[in-house]
Amino acid sequence: MKITLKQLHYFRALAQTRNFGRAADLVSVTQPALSMQIRELEDILGVRLVERLPRDVRLTREGRAVLERAERVLAEAMELEASAQQASLGAALNVGMIPTVAPYLLAGTLARLRAADITRDLRLREAQTADLLMALREGRLDAVVLADPKPDPDLHIAPLFRDRCLLAGSPVRLDALGAGSEALRPVALRPDHLLLLDEGHCLADQTLAFCQLDRRQTRLDLGASSLATLCGLVAQGFGLTFLPEIALAAETAAAPQIHLRRFQAPEPARQLVLVRRKTSAGGLWFDDLHTHLCAAGEVLLAHARKCAPES
């Protein structure tokens, strides 16, 4: 048998109260249970720790020496527990985001985390969906922000908000579409007018799905790696692209030549979500992150509604 912290805790209570009944009350156990633990501790050490008198309990010489060491052990154990809890609260939080979300949603989220006095070290990885999911499953990431991921029994998926897409292009390109309702439907767009993100970007796949197209049908496919690149191209009249609402504030400021048009209902949209492993501990860090991501997203969506009013 080995000495346990419980035994040392009970022994310290007995030394403080000098009475088995009061010591049992102090540690919230029955008197027989406490007495048994004290006897087991004596048996393990091979010495008598207390003198059991009719109305008193006195420490033996060996008992005083054991008490001195027990105090140090219990103090170290308490310090270790406190340190572990503090480390958990302050541990780095590794979060992944897809490239069509991170540049727009991260700044507002970080500002809200700081305003809420959350000092956790947030580390971001920006990558495509497949890479983020692999890192999440392998434990290299704690949570990821994705768009319309497939259901997975091993993952906990918390919806954030619905991010609608608009059609972006130069004034000449958009005017050429006409004002008819069919011109504002994704399936009515000419494939050779569309500029897409590179393969692996979920937004590119979603755009093709909205338009009921295959990537091989697009003539001008430059394989851009970012929305900023696409916006720079369409602003110069090289084609049309789909622009999510959360990106409007940043991309229209960087390329003011861009004009926007909303699609007819039902508008193409993606559902952004926050994902973690079901086996990982959720709790406050996940709830806080979810809350601040939603708040930051709502600011971007409100700006989008002002920038491109709904009809």
Q: What percent of the chain has a predicted confidence (pLDDT) above 70?
A: 88
- In the DSSP assignment, the letter for residue 307 is H
Q: Tell me what pLDDT residue 183 has.
A: 58
Q: pLDDT tens digit string along 73-96?
A: 998 888 777 655 544 555 678 999
Q: Tell me what pLDDT residue 190 has.
A: 82
Cβ(296)–Cβ(112) below 8 Å: yes
Q: Tell me what pLDDT residue 180 has.
A: 53
**What angle separates helix 5-17 from helix 31-45, to the nearest 10 degrees?**
110
Domains in the chain, CATH or no CATH each: 5-89 (1.10.10.10), 93-311 (3.40.190.290)
Residue 181 pLDDT > 50: no
3-state SS, residue 144: strand
Neighbours of 180 (CB within 10 A): 10
Q: Tell me what pLDDT residue 58 has.
A: 92
Q: pLDDT tens digit string along 233-264?
A: 888 888 899 999 999 999 988 888 889 999 88
Which ranges constitute the DSSP H helices of 125-261? 129-137, 171-175, 202-211, 227-235, 248-254
Reported pTM? 0.69
Question: Average pLDDT of 4-16?
Answer: 93
Where residue 184 falls among pLDDT bands split at 50, 70, 90?
confident
Q: In the block, which residue shows the tokens 């692996």? A: 200
Give the β-pairing of 93-97 and 143-147: parallel
Within the chain, strands assigned E span 50-53, 56-59, 93-97, 122-126, 143-147, 155-169, 241-244, 259-261, 269-277
Give me the chain's average pLDDT, please: 86
Q: pLDDT tens digit string along 145-165?
A: 999 999 999 999 999 999 999
Cβ(127)–Cβ(100) below 8 Å: no
Q: In the block, which residue shows the tokens 């969506």? A: 301
Q: How far apart are CA 136 and CA 140, in angstroms?
A: 6
- In the DSSP assignment, the letter for residue 215 is G
Q: How far apart are CA 173 and CA 220, in angstroms?
A: 15
